[in-house]
Amino acid sequence: ARQDRLVQILGEWTPSIYRIGPQVENNGLNLNFPFVNDEDFAVFEYIIPLQMLCAILPPQKGINPAIPKDPQFHQKMKSKQEI
């Protein structure tokens, strides 16, 4: 699955891969969280917490998110492919 491919690619960069969701093992790196998936509010349940993490963490860790760590990332993920 796409999520597993992402974990595989990120695993080449770091052992610190954190996953959040209802189908992940609850351990020191993952948070098993049973999202409600409410028809009207599901977008807020997922997106807003992740956007907050993405906004707060990079400056604290000295990372510039505008600079790609791997220029071949989208090719590896098979995303942004030409039609």
Predicted confidence at residue 83, as pLDDT, reads: 66
Alpha-carbon distance of 64 to 59, in angstroms, equals: 7
Q: For the chain, which residues score pLDDT lower than 70? A: 81, 83
Alpha-carbon distance of 23 to 17, in angstroms, equals: 15
Number of other CB atoms surrounding residue 53 within 10 Å: 12
Predicted confidence at residue 60, as pLDDT, reads: 94
Q: What is the pTM of this model?
A: 0.54
Could you read off the pLDDT of 25-45 as tens digits, one per residue? Answer: 888 888 888 888 788 888 888
